[in-house]
Structure 1
Amino acid sequence: MPLLRELSTLLLKARASLALVRDGRAVVGELRQQAPVAPGSIEAVVYFPDGAVNAYQVRQWYEPLRRLAETHPVAVIARRADAARLLLAECPLPVVLLSTMGEIETWLGTQRVGVIFYVNQNQANFAALRFAGPAHVFVSHGESEKAYMVSNQLKAYDQVFVAGPAAVRRIARSIRGLAPERLVEIGRPQVDVRHAGPDLPADDRVVVLYAPTWEGDRPSMEYSSLASHGAAMVAALVGDPRYRVVYRPHPRTGVQDSAYSAAHRAVVGVLAAANAADPAAAHVVDTDSPFGWHLAAADVCIADLSAVAYDWMATGKPLVLTRPAAAQATVEGSELAAAVPLLDAAHAGQVTSRIADLMAGQDDGYAALVRDFFGDTAPGASTARFLAAADALIAERASEEVA
C-alpha cells in the first residue's frame, strides 16, 4: 500500500507538471497577441508568485491599481503560467510571465519601476526583495487580526500599507524592531469600488451576507465557522421569511480539509431546498464573482474573524461575528472581538435574534471602532490615501535615480 500511495503521488505530480507546461505554452501564445509592454514605461509592479487559486488576492487590488496606473503605469509580474493565464483574461493591467529570476532581472532592467507591491506573505516574495532599486511595499489582501497580519516578515519591506491606527497598535505590540514610520495608514481602498452584481428582488427582505473564511493551513488559523456554525445558521435564516441569504464562501474552502467541502455542500443544499420551496426567497450562492458587490447589496453580514469582517466594518452596517470553534484559533487580543459580541456555535440557530437586535440600532461605540480601524471612511478617502502614498514612494525613488 505505501508503494501504491507513492506511485499515486508521483502520478499526480507528473500530471500537474504536464499541465503547467501546457499552460505555459498557451500563455506564451496569448502574450504574443497582447500589445508588448514598452521598455521604460512601467513605474509600479505587483509581484505575484502564486498559482491561479490565489488570484483573488490580486483581484481585489484591480481598481485601486487601475487608478494608480492613470498617473504611474502598473504591471503584474506572474511567476506561474496558470496565474498568468487567468490574469491575462481579467486583469485591467498589463501582465508579464517571468518564470525565472533571470527573466525578472532582465525585465526590470528595461523598466523604471519605483515600487513593487506584495499582496501576500509567500516565501517566494523574498526572491524579488533582492532588487535594491524599487521600494518594496506589503499591501496584503485584506485587513484582519489574524496572526498572519503580524508576521515578523513585515520587517523585510520598506513600507507596510495598513488600514488604520488599530493595525499600527497591533503590529507594534507583536513585532519588535519595526520602525513605526514604515507603517503607512491608507484605510481600505477596496470599499470605494462599486462592483456590478446580480439584481436582487426589490422587496422587504433583509439581505444577509454569510461569508465564512477558509479553514486555514494550520490550527492557529482555523477561524472558519463553516463546519461549526454554517448549516445551523443558514437553516435558521431561510426558515424566517424576513431574510434573504447571500452565501459567499472563501475561494480556498476545502483546499486543506475535506470536512469544509462537505460543510459547504450542506449549506448549498439548504439554500437550494429553500429556493425550491419558495422561489421568491431568491437566496444566492456566489462562488465565482469578484468579491465587492456584496458590500453594497447586503444589509447585514455574518463573518468570521477575517478580512471580510473588516471590509464590512468599513460600511458601518451591522456585523455578526462568529467565535471560532477551534481552540487554537484564539481571539484573545482582538480589539474587534472585544468590542463585538461573538456568536458561539452552540447558539448558531439563534442568529436571527442577534440580527434583529443589531438592526434595531447600534451605539456610537461601533462607529468609533470603525474609525479606529480605517480612519476616514468617506467615499474616496481611502483610495486618495493609497494613491498619495504610492505616488510619494515612486517620486522618491525617481529622484534618487536622477541624483
Structure 2
Amino acid sequence: MAILEKKSSQHSIELEDKYGAHNYHPLPVVLNKGEGVYVWDVEGKKYYDFLSAYSAVNQGHCHPKIVGAMTSQAQTLTLTSRAFYNDKLGEYEKFASEYFGFDKLLPMNTGAEAVETALKICRKWAYEEKGIFENEAQIIVCENNFHGRTTTIISFSNDPVARKNFGPYTAGFIKIEYDNLNALEVALENNANVAGFLVEPIQGEAGVYVPSDDYLEKAKALCKKHNVLFIADEVQTGIARTGRLLATCGDCSCSDKNCSGTPNVKPDVLILGKALSGGAYPVSAVLADDHIMKVIKPGNHGSTFGGNPVAAAVAIAALEVVRDEKLAENAFVLGELFRSELNKYIEGSKIVNLVRGKGLLNAIVINDDEESETAWNICVALKENGLLAKPTHGNIIRFAPPLVMNKEQLLECVAIITKTLKEFE
C-alpha cells in the first residue's frame, strides 16, 4: 500500500511536468489537505506550512468562517459581471474602505491586476489633476522590487529571469535604490513629470529586506512635498502579516505598544491582495480617497470577475477573522519570539548569517552565494523534518507561517529549523 501511495505522489508531479507549463519550480511535495497551520501530503504526512502561499493564507488553511462565507454565497449567486449591481459588492466596499480608512475601493482579483490598476489610476490622476502632459508621466520604483509578472510590471523589474526575452518593455518608470531617501529626493527634484512612487514597505521576494525605521515616513513626506502619489504595494505585507494591520501602519487596528517606534504612514494609494481572501478565493483591491479615485470613470477600467459576490463575501469574512482573532497582535508577539530564538542559534552558526523581518514575515540568509543550492537543500531537509519553506534569491529562505499559529507551535517549528540547520553546519 505504501508503494502505491508513493506512486500517487509521483504521479501528480509527473502530470504537472508533462501537461503544465514549467513556470514554477516547486519543492517535491504533493499536498491535498490543509487546516490551520498544517498541510498534509497525499501519503498523509503532516507539515507545518511556513510559506502560507506567500502570505495569502494568513488566517490559516480552510478557516471555517471564510469557507462558510464562500460556500454560502456560492450557493446563492456567484457572478453577475459589473453590467449589473449585486447586493454584496457595496457591503464589501463600505466594510473594507472603513476598515482601512479610505473613501473608495476598486475591486480586482489578483495582486498583479491590482498593481496595474494602481499604475493606471496614478497616471490618469497625473494628467487630469496634477497637470502633467499626456503620455509624459513617470512613476518611481525601487530596484529589486517584486510587484508581479505582467508585461508592464516586468518592464521595471531587474530580475533577469522574470524579464529577459519578454520585451519590448513599457516606458515611464524611474528606478532608484530601495531604502535610499537621497535617491528618491534627487529623482523627485530632477523630474517634473513624476506622478507617483510605488514601493513595497518590506521587499518580500527580494529576501525580506526591511527598510530603515524612518524610510516610509520620510518617503511619504517627500512625495507630499512634490505632489506625488505615495503608492504602497501591501499585497504581501498587508493584512496583519508584519504585526500590524498594514506594514505602513496607516489607520492601524493594532495596540499602541505594537506600533511604537514604527512609522505611521497612510498611503495615497493602497494595493491589497493575497490574505484579503484568506487564500480561499482570488481577491485584490486598490483603495484611495475621493480626490484620487474620482478620475476613474465608466469604461476606464474593469474586470468581469472583479467585485463578484463570492469575492465580496469572502473578503469581509477574511477581514473579520483578522480583527476578531487579533492576528496582527499575535504576529507581532510571535515574530519577536521567532527572531529572538533564531538569533540564539545564529550566534554559534557557520551556515546562517542573520535573521531579519517584522512580525511573522522573516528570512534567514544562508552563508553561501546565490548560485549555490545550499538553501534549496536545506528546504528539502526541512520538508523531511516536517516543515515547508522555500528559498528566494538563491541563498535566502523565507519563513511566513499562518498568523493563527500559537507559541507552542512556533517553538516546535524553531526546533525543527535549528535541528535541520545543524545538519548543514
Q: TM-score, normalised by structure 2?
A: 0.27
| Higher helix fraction (1 or 2) | 1
